[in-house]
Chains A and B, each alone.
Chain A
Amino acid sequence: MDVTRRNAMFMGAGALVAFGLPLRATTADIEAITAFTGGAEMADTGVTLTAPEIAENGNTVPIEVSSPGASEIMVLALGNPTPSVATFGFGALAASHAASTRIRLAGTQDVVAIAKLEDGSFAKATSTVKVTIGGCGG
């Protein structure tokens, strides 16, 4: 059966994924971001998010965040039913302000990392991770 893997990958992900469209942020995500930043502007540099362009397995996608000046880094998967992934805190004695983990993605979507820097400002990085049934290589 050709459909098994796809069914398994997209089971329960709803009509949006069934049409192959990227999953979009909801009001709840925006509220979560506002709660973290207090509505402050976010710079484009200052935090690095490393994620695959295309997930090898949507159920376990390796990501890494780093921000040398961060006290906290929040990670969101904007298209997931529960977008909140993790918030990493770094103390004054932390040797490296980086963390890596694996996350589950319901479909193609943006993953966002927001760093709260020690000077009180915020930085944001976004990466689109595609969850696909795959094509046929050359």
Chain B
Amino acid sequence: MISRRDFLQSSMAASALLGASGFGRWARLAAQQSLTQDQLLQFDTYGNVSLIHVTDIHAQLKPIYFREPSINIGVGENRGAVPHITGAEFRRMYGIEDGSPSHYALSADDFEALARGYGKVGGLDRMATVINQIRADRPDALLLDGGDTWHGSYTCYHTQGQDMVEVMNALKPDAMTFHWEFTLGSDRVNELVESLPFAALGQNIFDAEWDEPAELFPPYKFFERGGVKIAVIGQAFPYMPIANPGWMFPEYAFGIRDEHMQEVVDEVRGMGAELVVVLSHNGFDVDKKMAGVVSGIDVILSGHTHDALPEPVLVGETVIVASGSNGKFVSRVDLDVRDGRMMGFRHKLIPIFSDVITPDPEVAQLIDTVRAPYEEAMGEVIGQTASLLYRRGNFNGTWDDLICDALLSEREADIALSPGVRWGPSLLPGQDITREDIWNVTSMTYGAAYRTEMTGEFLHVVMEDVADNLFNPDPYYQQGGDMVRTGGLGYRIDVTQPQGSRISEMTLLATGEKIDPARPYQVAGWASVNEDTEGPQIWDVVESHIRKQGTVTVQPNNSVAVVGA
């Protein structure tokens, strides 16, 4: 008799051979240079349960360009493991042909040329078409939203998340978990969550005062689909009050709380759950570790670190699915659950090619309606770009180089710091930069651009602290996100060293001099987690800078020397 583990793995192997994960047929598509919606959505319905996973949409209602990272270093046990493999190595690993649609969707090389060929990605109206198509195959499929949905655009900021709530409601999710949503402030989050027609889950969302589970966010919800009792457990971003301003939601505490996760898994199993799904905003490496610590989870739908993987990763008997960001992908996971256990799965990461997938007319209409009051203001052209503007990468991206330049010149600073967030679409050379484009990479509820004095020693502490959030070898001490971006400051980083010893050779680029630990420097930055941060909003600073430039050109950035990658 085939063991459960063998069955899982053989199912995985078969799906790879047959191309059920989507990438096997790209070679032919590349030859044809023609993609169709049917090809993108082709899926041989399997088993008796379907899960649809979307995550980290960051309020991108409309199609965009989105360049994946070319540098994404893993440390400790995750060194050289997915998702810490990029570029050609990533394509070889998954058998993705150069120049294919999958190359364009999943890796960064030749981005500009491929983007011109294959067009924009995402758009919730296209996503709606894909979701409806899956529901046509499997009417009772579960749609699960991993969070970071109500943040990241001009309209989301001005409606305090209402635009996203309305459009997502039209997609009819079954459950959701959270991260940036809390930066709307706890009053607004509570108000929106109370209005939701679906479950708002988080086993790790606690009442800060009593250190007890928060009433508004149940740990799990049961669904009965295809005759299977399914428990969906929510796991919100564990480090919200640390990575984001805790003063905006002081009533709530978070944390990984894997002991509590185990208790919840045991509880739902005890109640007869035949399939346990964790809808997670942990980040991929944290989910991998948690899958090894907590027993009894069948599927983790992983979000937060914005990784898009064409195949799930298996940890023991737990399947981990990563579905990208910014509306670029939808994951479909079909499961065969029999005799109270998962016997096999079939998976496809579906890239949302906007020019290939027909928009759902009702959702398209709804998006236009929620955007209408803001179209004029956000459509204003501020300048043009001569360079590819993108954000993703461990140490820098051209959008952040531009933002740092804006901070240095508009705020008259020696050094600029820009947060290592992973959201924000890309722009191609020759494109207009609209106000909406600027907001797409800067919008947040704590966007004040501060200017302050820091000693060289203090700057070093800040850099070391952020580096440890990214390169601590234990994933439970990582917060996701990337290294703080620096303007006017060069440095060397050895990612293999412990905190305090990673950053060296800090240099003031304007003079080429080494940073003096005792000397004060004028530092401009944004997205401070401190209450009462003062300064103009970052989008205004960037807009003013771009207006003065007319056409922006971003020079290659060689200011960070990376060792130990």
Contacts and interface: CB of A to CB of B under 8 A. Distances in A.
B122 interface: no
B450 A2 contact: yes
A132 B246 CA distance: 13
B103 interface: no
Interface size band for A = 20 to 34
Contacts of A56: 208, 241-242, 246, 253-255
A100 B423 CA distance: 38
B477 A138 contact: no
A20 B461 contact: yes
Contacts of A132: 242, 465, 468-469
A27 interface: no
Q: How large is the interface on B (under 10, 10 to 19, 20 to 34, 35 or more residues)?
A: 35 or more
Contacts of A35: none
Contacts of B24: none
A138 B255 contact: no
B469 A134 contact: yes
Interface stretch (B191-199, B527-535, B540-548): B527-535
A138 B242 contact: no
A92 interface: no
Interface string B32-60: 00000000000000000000000010000
Interface stretch (B222-230, B333-341, B451-459): B451-459
Contacts of A136: 243, 419-421, 466, 479, 481-482, 484, 527
Contacts of B480: 137-138
Interface in B416-442: 419-423
Identify the interface centre among A1, A53, A57, A135: most chain B CB within 10 Å of its CB: A135
Interface in B212-245: 237-244
A133 B529 CA distance: 9
A21 to B, nearest CB: 5
B452 A2 contact: yes
B470 interface: yes
Interface in B237-279: 237-244, 246, 253-256, 259
B499 A135 contact: no
A62 B528 CA distance: 25
Given A2-B533, A138-B480, 5 more contacts: A21-B500, A136-B466, A136-B482, A137-B243, A138-B325
Interface of B: 56, 148, 179-180, 208, 211, 237-244, 246, 253-256, 259, 283, 304-306, 325, 419-423, 450, 452, 454, 457-458, 461-462, 464-466, 468-470, 474, 476-477, 479-482, 484, 499-500, 523, 525, 527-530, 532-534
Interface of A: 1-5, 18-22, 50, 52-54, 56-57, 62, 100, 108, 128, 130, 132-138
